[in-house]
């Protein structure tokens, strides 16, 4: 995101809040939100600060050693040469502020936003200002997608939706030779390369009890062979190659055989029911013009699963923000691991992925949802029935 756009959107947000400015701080990569705002800059070795006042021109405070690395931003810059000099210059920078926002979350409730260390927070507060969380400000200023970013996500989502079915087909075609979870994961990675998708960590290919580990990694020494009667969960995520493309992330499940066992079918139906209930609640909130917070959507799915008697087996949040990183910095659908009070706003995207994890097998169903001006829109294929894998 260009720095001028981020500044404009940040000031737009602060105009409606009791916030005098946004103070972004980083040392050695501890706060990636700063780099989301100004763009990637390599080899910055000293503390650096960006002050975006609610009115007026933003300003950088950087070390004399790193001065040349920020020149291309075209922002007024103050240099410091020592710790004492940095503190004095920072006090001048925020002298007119009473309340400023930083990447701080009270009690560490939102770890994704909790990027400023306690000592730095103490130092800034010692300048006589009140520090509040930048959680909603970050979302508004840096996480809303452009039309081009949305298009990049939609292309990636379409490719992922095809590749997951290709992977189930690969397993079926090779059943006689008992392909392993790792074999299927390698097949998916090869398809990513063919389709121009980024290869990072993952994917998850998990059979039977391995599917009860939400982040199972099919390593060479822990990879099961896949055969008749097996339950298969595949979770795959990626994005198009390129700095400004947005991620997609989906999870599908399948059974190797002609008929899904009753227990597996029962759990599958509950999971997709929870997924659809959460999506319906999200759509209803937008139709009614009612603001909805991330934790509220999580509660809908969690209540659905609990009512079916499986509440103790749903042990992660409902969904996460999507962006350049597959787990990004906007609102999460989370009332379990955290209590995310950020609003679900137009311009961001989230996953909806409830799961039930029994000792013998696990089920998760994951879709991607973009929040447009007219409300939520699913951008991935939606699994309605268990895929049957046959030789």
Q: Does one domain contain both 346 and 206?
A: yes
**How far is 68 from 89, CA to CA, in rounded Å?**
19
The residue out of 108, 142, 176 marking a domain boundary is 142
What is the CATH classification number for the domain harbouring 321? 3.90.230.10
The answer to whether 322 touches 247, Cβ cutoff 8 Å, is yes
Task: Answer yes or no: do 181 and 116 share one domain.
Answer: no
Same structural domain, 102 and 191: no
- SS3 at position 131: strand
Same domain, 104 and 168: no
| pLDDT confidence of residue 1 | 54
Considering the domain architecture, whether residues 98 and 180 belong to the same structural domain is answered as no
Q: Which of 84, 110, 142 is the last residue of a domain?
A: 142
Pair 228, 359 in one domain: yes
Q: Which residue in the block uniquely carries the two structure tokens 């099919």?
A: 218
Query: What is d(CA 122, CA 131) in angstroms, rounded to the nearest whole number?
Result: 10
* Whether residues 155 and 254 fall in one domain: yes
**Continuous segment of H or E residues that includes residue 3:** helix 3-14
Contact status, residue 348 vs residue 139, Cβ threshold 8 Å: yes
pLDDT the model gives residue 366: 98
> What pLDDT, on a 0 to 100 scale, did the predictor assign at position 36?
87
Last residue of a domain, one of 109, 124, 142: 142
Residue 224: per-residue pLDDT? 95
DSSP for residue 365: -
15 and 52 part of one domain: yes
Q: pTM of the predicted model, to two decimals?
A: 0.94
Q: What is the DSSP string of 17-74?
A: TT--EEEEEESTTS-HHHHHHH-------S-EEEEEESSS--EEEEEGGGGGGGGGG-
Per the listing, tokens 């979870």 go with 181
Residue ranges with strand state E in the chain: 21-26, 48-53, 59-63, 77-80, 99-102, 130-133, 204-207, 231-238, 248-256, 321-322, 349-352, 355-357, 362-364, 367-372, 375-378, 387-389
Domains of the chain: total: 2
Question: What whole-number distance in Å separates Cα of residue 60 and Cα of residue 58?
Answer: 7
Q: Same domain for 130 and 200?
A: no
Q: How many residues does the structure list for the chain? A: 391
Q: Which residue range(s) make up the domain with 196? A: 147-389
Query: Could you tell me if 72 and 18 lie in one domain?
Result: yes
- Of 339, 293, 330, 336, the C-alpha closest to 316 is 336
> How much is the pLDDT for 221?
81
Q: pLDDT value at position 232? A: 98
| CA gap 325, 163 in Å, rounded | 20
Closest alpha carbon to 232 in 253, 212, 215: 253
Per-residue pLDDT of the chain (391 residues; tens, 9 = 90+): 578 899 999 999 999 899 999 999 999 999 999 998 998 999 999 999 999 999 999 999 999 999 999 999 999 999 999 999 999 999 999 999 999 999 999 999 999 999 999 999 999 999 999 999 999 999 999 999 999 999 999 999 999 999 999 999 999 999 999 999 999 999 999 999 999 999 999 999 999 999 999 999 998 888 999 999 999 999 999 999 998 999 999 999 999 999 999 999 999 999 999 999 999 999 999 999 999 999 999 999 999 999 999 999 999 999 999 999 999 999 999 999 999 999 999 999 999 999 999 999 999 999 999 999 999 999 999 999 999 999 7
DSSP codes of every residue in 241-288: SSTT---EEEEEEEEESSS--HHHHHHHHHHHHHHHHHHHHHHHHHHT
For residues 232 and 369, membership in a common domain is answered with yes
Which CATH number belongs to the domain containing residue 43 in this structure? 3.40.350.10
Find out whether 250 and 385 touch, Cβ atoms under 8 Å: no
In sequence order, what are the residues at sequence separation of 6 or more whose Cβ sits closer than 8 angstroms to the Cβ of residue 349? 145, 153, 246, 321, 322, 323, 330, 368, 369, 370, 371, 379
Least Cα distance to 203 among 190, 193, 217 occurs for 217
Instruction: Name 337's Cβ contacts closer than 8 Å, sequence gap at least 6.
Output: 316, 317
**Cβ(106)–Cβ(133) below 8 Å:** yes
Residues 117 and 167 in one domain: no
């Amino acid at each position: 995101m260009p720095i001028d756009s981020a500044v404009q959107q940040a000031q737009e947000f602060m105009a409606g809040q009791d916030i005098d400015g946004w103070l972004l701080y980083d040392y050695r990569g501890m706060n990636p939100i700063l780099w989301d705002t100004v763009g990637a800059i390599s080899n910055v070795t000293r503390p650096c600060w960006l002050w975006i006042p609610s009115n007026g021109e933003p300003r950088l405070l950087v070390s004399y050693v790193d001065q040349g690395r920020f020149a291309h931003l075209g922002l007024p810059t103050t240099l410091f040469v020592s710790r004492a000099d940095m503190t004095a210059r920072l006090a001048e920078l925020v002298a007119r502020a009473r309340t400023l926002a930083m990447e701080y979350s009270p009690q560490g409730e939102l770890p994704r936003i909790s990027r400023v260390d306690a000592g730095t927070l103490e130092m800034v507060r010692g300048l006589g200002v009140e520090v509040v969380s930048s959680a909603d400000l970050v979302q508004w200023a840096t996480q809303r997608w452009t039309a081009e970013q949305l298009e990049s996500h939609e292309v990636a989502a379409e490719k992922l939706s095809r590749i997951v079915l290709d992977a189930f087909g690969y397993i079926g075609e090779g059943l006689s030779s008992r392909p392993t979870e790792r074999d299927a994961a390698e097949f998916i990675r090869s398809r990513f390369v063919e389709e121009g998708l980024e290869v990072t960590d993952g994917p998850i290919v998990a059979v039977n009890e391995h599917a009860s580990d939400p982040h199972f990694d099919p390593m060479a020494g822990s990879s099961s062979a896949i055969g008749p009667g097996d339950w298969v969960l595949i979770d795959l995520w990626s994005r198009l190659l390129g700095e400004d493309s947005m991620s997609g992330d989906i999870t599908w499940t399948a059974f190797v055989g002609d008929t899904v066992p009753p227990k597996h079918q029962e759990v599958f139906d509950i999971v997709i029911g929870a997924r659809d209930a959460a999506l319906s609640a999200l759509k209803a909130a937008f139709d009614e013009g009612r603001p909805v917070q991330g934790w509220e959507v999580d509660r809908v799915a969690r209540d659905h699963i609990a009512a079916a008697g499986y509440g103790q087996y749903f042990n992660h949040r409902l969904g996460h923000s999507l962006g350049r990183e597959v787990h990004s910095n906007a609102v999460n659908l989370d009332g379990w691991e955290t209590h995310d009070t950020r609003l679900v706003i137009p311009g961001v995207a989230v996953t909806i992925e409830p799961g039930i994890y029994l000792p013998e097998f696990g089920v998760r169903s994951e879709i991607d949802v973009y929040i447009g001006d007219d409300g939520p829109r699913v951008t991935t294929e939606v699994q309605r029935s268990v895929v049957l894998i046959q030789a």
